[in-house]
Chain A
């Protein structure tokens, strides 16, 4: 290891010990490397800005964030909740199921777990609290179901993965559908069991007339995923353009169908969005300069040789990757894992003949589990702060949903067809 790399690595570790903003810490780490190597520091601006300038596909990220913020500010989220509520009706523990179905529907419009937990999650948590569910259970299921957001298309992490790996966004999106459905089923089974054991309340009975009325009300929101996905798969729009159209559609239905979103609210949405974009995209840029260091030091090749030396078994490699990402996910922020660690694995995955769409879904799914794993799980923090439930109570409860997620992860890892069947059938993959 060169001295430059060692210093860079030390600073990289300090990011986590000293509470440095991750993006700027990464830049510090790379700058130290460049200084020691005697390179021009103009390279930093070059690498970072070029990431935004040349990767057209990641422009979808701010657009999907904007859409989610519009939906959460208008009444769209309420409509989805009411509709799911009517759908689950008299089931035992209905609100638990509503939580999952609502997230599935919401995930067809946005691509972020955080947006799901913070927006729809807020409504779900309130409703569950007033209906006698344990707070810790409500938080755990809200966190777990939010994971659907980035798995079911559209998805912000999958867009970023597409940028990093050069895979098709369309194929990745389609590949996420079956895993999302599997996760929905797994979580619903969990809710059903817990509700029976703890005797959670049933939902209200909806008369057919009320059900139809609620469905009609929710229809404009329910159409969003349809418009988005048809647009992408018929080739009418690129996924990035679809992000913009979804944003426009969200604005239109908020104003005309739901009579919400005043100019003042809209301005608030724009301001929140630029903050969100600033926070997320700057890490993507900072990671690019770290990737430059990784490439210069040829770390991927070294790792590839090392892993191939141990075993060139595809399944063993995937097993190893899953364990490592699960462990990293417990402690490190998802964006760091995705932008720094995952790309290092690409050469090995390719050499082993793993389909990159399959690989993308496996690592993304795994990283999203990381959002709910203690001690560092963003979704746990969010649900805890929204509901005022102590973190340790949620941590106790999250074990079973985590197990359900890990089972689904294993299924999609070892049965690649669960991911690849749909994109292949659609002719997006060979």
Chain B
């Protein structure tokens, strides 16, 4: 079960954005090639490009979340001792979890509100363009809770320091 769940996660967070990116990339090349070499401008590439971009960003951001590579300002955090550091990150993460919990349903509703709008050429339903945002929200919540558990362990003395905090110290 766990294995299956991880496989599904890889599909959404690695393969989908990778394919979306490559689709976008290839569409661009075809667009330029077809316009100048075959002299036949393509129109459908535009829809694929934009959709590919949206999917790359929204699903890719989940992968970035997993790799803990989102841009953060760590100057204050790094100066703190392990426990205050854990406490401060816990507080910030609590705000984020709360925010994204509140966003799930309105974003879902908004995506389906657009059900009858379609892209110009390929007639792709707008719902598919906005729905990945819901996945992003859920993914942010899950990965953030993972960090929170780590910080709670630090606060309860079960862990010496969270891995991000130690890592930052190492770099300096």
Contacts and interface: CB of A to CB of B under 8 A. Distances in A.
Interface of A: 11, 14-25, 27-28, 31-32, 35, 40-46, 48-49, 52-53, 56, 59, 62-63, 66, 236-237, 240-241, 243-245, 247-248, 267, 270-271, 273-279, 281-283, 285, 331-333, 335, 375-376, 381, 384-385, 390-391
B54 A42 contact: no
A376 B79 CA distance: 13
A41 B71 contact: no
Given A19-B72, A19-B89, A20-B72, A275 B54 contact: no
B93 A20 contact: yes
B89 A18 contact: yes
B123 to A, nearest CB: 16
A177 to B, nearest CB: 24
B152 interface: no
Given A28-B98, A270-B22, 12 more contacts: A17-B76, A21-B70, A22-B73, A35-B102, A44-B106, A44-B107, A45-B134, A53-B50, A59-B50, A279-B71, A281-B61, A285-B57
Contacts of A25: 92, 95-96
A17 B133 contact: no
Given A11-B95, A49-B130, A385-B171, A278 B76 contact: no
Contact of B28 (A22, A44, A244, A270): A244
Most chain A CB within a 10 A radius of its CB, from B32, B69, B74, B133: B32
B133 A45 contact: yes
Interface of B: 14, 17-18, 21-22, 24-25, 28-29, 31-32, 36, 49-50, 53-54, 56-65, 67, 69-77, 88-89, 91-93, 95-96, 98-100, 102-103, 106-107, 109-111, 113, 129-130, 133-134, 140, 144, 171-172
Nearest to B22: A270
A372 to B, nearest CB: 15
A244 B60 contact: no
A-B pairs, top 10 by smallest CB distance, nearest first, are: A18-B92, A42-B110, A244-B28, A278-B60, A278-B64, A278-B61, A41-B106, A21-B70, A274-B60, A19-B77
A397 to B, nearest CB: 16
A274 B133 contact: no
Helix, strand, loop or mixed for chain B's interface?
Answer: helix
Contact of A381 (B31, B64, B69, B171): B171
B89 to A, nearest CB: 5
13 contacts: A17-B92, A24-B144, A28-B99, A46-B110, A49-B54, A59-B49, A62-B56, A66-B21, A244-B32, A274-B63, A278-B56, A279-B64, A282-B70
Nearest to A46: B110
Nearest to B171: A385
B75 A376 contact: yes
A278 B57 contact: yes
Contact of A332 (B54, B73, B130): B73
A332 B111 CA distance: 34
A23 B103 contact: no
Given A240-B28, A270-B18, A333 B73 contact: yes
A122 to B, nearest CB: 15
A335 B70 CA distance: 12
B29 A278 contact: no
Contact of A19 (B64, B76, B109): B76
A96 to B, nearest CB: 25
B76 to A, nearest CB: 5
B72 A62 contact: no
B172 to A, nearest CB: 6
B86 to A, nearest CB: 11
B79 to A, nearest CB: 10
Nearest to A15: B73
Contacts of B14: 271, 274
Given A45-B111, A279-B61, A384 B171 contact: yes
Given A17-B88, A28-B99, A277-B57, A22 B171 contact: no
Contacts of A48: 133
B70 A19 contact: no
A21 B72 contact: yes
A385 B92 CA distance: 27
Nearest to A21: B70
Nearest to B16: A274
A40 B106 contact: yes
